[in-house]
Chain A
Amino acid sequence: DAGVTQSPTHLIKTRGQQVTLRCSPKSGHDTVSWYQQALGQGPQFIFQYYEEEERQRGNFPDRFSGHQFPNYSSELNVNALLLGDSALYLCASSLGHVETQYFGPGTRLLVL
């Protein structure tokens, strides 16, 4: 039973660039949530996708956008990267938006 997978594992970008992170949910799951985890902090909710629509959004600017595909996989896009966007980006999947979330290994983004 495949768990949540994310790609790439690491990424280095420069300020002003754009980045796309990818997530495949656990088999049987249809909901994907994205979190940003700054160094030494707990994860902060970015947004959640269910039935290919953004259902909830945390306190993140419009530079953060996403998409969910018919196979339930998801992308997180960040435009106009800032140094402060450097963080671990975690994807979590669940069956429906009320069930327990299971996390992927994360993508470490470094913005120089």
Chain B
Amino acid sequence: AQTVTQSQPEMSVQEAETVTLSCTYDTSESDYYLFWYKQPPSRQMILVIRQEAYKQQNATENRFSVNFQKAAKSFSLKISDSQLGDAAMYFCAYRRGNTPLVFGKGTRLSVIA
């Protein structure tokens, strides 16, 4: 079974600085999708960014970018120019084809003003 590991239970960053959240996964498949979801205290899980494994180019969405290392099975999220509204739980997730999402345990990000 596929597993997703987030080794940092908590992280903190100064406002306007950059932070990187780590994620590793285990799979024997070559074609799959990886996601980062954000869950603020309001509880709603919000899609931050998505990466297709067949694409070598790292996905970017405004201040959010990923470092996808397929051979190392690593998928880290970089948040640039951190804002107070970025404070939340961040979940890394894996999916292959039509199988359900498999989530990591999450990283709690605090942003210090």
Contact = CB atoms under 8 A, between A and B. Distances in A.
Interface of A: 33, 35, 40-45, 48, 55-56, 58, 88, 90, 92, 97-98, 100-106, 108
22 contacts: A40-B105, A41-B106, A42-B4, A42-B93, A42-B103, A43-B91, A44-B103, A45-B101, A48-B100, A55-B98, A56-B98, A56-B99, A56-B100, A88-B43, A92-B45, A92-B101, A100-B47, A100-B50, A101-B101, A103-B45, A105-B44, A106-B45
A90 B45 contact: yes
Nearest to A104: B44
Given A56-B100, A92-B45, 11 more contacts: A42-B104, A43-B91, A44-B103, A45-B100, A45-B101, A55-B98, A100-B47, A102-B47, A103-B44, A103-B46, A106-B43
Given A56-B99, A97-B98, A98-B97, A41 B105 contact: yes
B35 interface: yes
Contact of A43 (B44, B46, B101): B101
Classify chain B's interface size. 20 to 34
Contacts of B50: 100
Contacts of A92: 45, 101
B75 interface: no
B42 A98 contact: no
Nearest to B45: A103
Contacts of B105: 40-42
Contacts of B68: none
Contacts of B104: 42
Which of B4, B37, B105 has the most A CB atoms < 10 Å from its CB?
A: B37
A64 B99 CA distance: 19
